[in-house]
Chains A and B, each alone.
Chain A
Amino acid sequence: GNSVTQMEGPVTLSEEAFLTINCTYTATGYPSLFWYVQYPGEGLQLLLKATKADDKGSNKGFEATYRKETTSFHLEKGSVQVSDSAVYFCAGSARQLTFGSGTQLTVLP
């Protein structure tokens, strides 16, 4: 079956630090890959996506590249802000969307 494994949290960074949250997937075929973000007290919302190998998704300074050879979709941001504090979920879909366990990010001023 399909599964998504993402880096365990929590992650605490200082403002303007570089962020990487690792995500790898196992699937039959080539799933679409997503990063969702959940701010406190809210539902999940789409951050970015990639639908095929070598695609790069980007939004709000965040990026992730669909790497077929390493089955990875790591989330990166060059300079995090306090407002980026949230829980980040990696997800993949062939026919059904499968979520990772989530990574709590806290950015300190």
Chain B
Amino acid sequence: DAGVIQSPRHEVTEMGQEVTLRCKPISGHNSLFWYRQTMMRGLELLIYFNNNVPIDDSGMPEDRFSAKMPNASFSTLKIQPSEPRDSAVYFCASSFRSGAAGANVLTFGAGSRLTVL
């Protein structure tokens, strides 16, 4: 398996532009997570999906952020409009969660580094 695939790896954009980050989870995994990493705040969970359904989006900063998972093999995180404070590395991770037993091991993608000028 190629692991969790994220694109783009790097994105530089101007304030006000729309940004779309993409993620392909590991085949067979049923949970998908979006994290944001910054020096100031560390690793923050933005949203996670289970069986393509958003379960907890309480970490999404504000309405400018949205995430979708139209099928089991693809998810997007969109920022519209982008602002300089959104500059960060955004990670996608996936796992196989069985029942209510709790979180299993996460496999992370390599991340998308976003710079908003």
**Which A residues form the contact surface with B (CB < 8 A)?**
31-32, 34, 41-46, 49, 89, 93-97, 99, 101-102
Which residues on B sit within 8 Å (CB–CB) of A101? Answer: 42
**Which residues of B are in contact with A by a Cβ distance under 8 Å?**
4, 33, 42-43, 45, 48, 56, 91, 93, 100, 102-103, 105-111
Q: Given the interface contacts A96-B56, A99-B42, A102-B42, does A32 sit within 8 Å of B102 by beta carbon?
A: yes
Are A43 and B43 also in contact (CB < 8 A) when A34-B105, A94-B102 are?
no
Q: Is the CB of B108 within 8 A of A96?
A: no
* Count: A-B pairs, CB below 8 Å: 46
Chain A to chain B contacts (Cβ below 8 Å), 8 pairs = A32-B102, A34-B105, A42-B110, A42-B111, A43-B93, A45-B108, A97-B33, A102-B42
Tell whether A49 pairs with B109 under 8 Å between CB atoms, given A89-B43, A95-B100.
no
CB-CB under 8 A for A32 and B111, given A43-B91, A99-B43, A102-B43: no
Q: Which B residues are CB-close (under 8 A) to A97?
A: 33, 45, 103, 106
What residue of chain B has the Cβ atom nearest to residue A101's Cβ?
Answer: B42
Q: Which residue of B lies closest to A89 (CB)?
A: B43
CA–CA, A75 to B60, complex, Å? 31
Q: Is the beta-carbon distance between A32 and B103 smaller than 8 angstroms?
A: yes
Tell me, in angstroms, the Cα distance from A46 to B100 when the chains sit together: 21
How many whole Å from B8's CB to the nearest CB in chain A? 14
Q: Is B102's CB under 8 angstroms from A43's CB?
A: no
CA distance A51 to B93 in the complex (A): 20
14 other contacts beyond A46-B106, A96-B102, with CB at 8 A cut-off?
A34-B105, A43-B4, A43-B91, A43-B109, A46-B105, A49-B105, A94-B102, A95-B100, A95-B102, A96-B45, A96-B56, A97-B33, A97-B45, A102-B43
Min CB distance B3 to A, Å, is: 9
With beta carbons under 8 angstroms apart, the residue of A31, A43, A102 that contacts B110 is A43
Asked if B42 contacts A44 (CB within 8 A), the reply is no
- Chain A residues within an 8 Å CB radius of B102: 31-32, 93-96
Within 8 Å CB of B106, what residues of A?
44, 46, 97
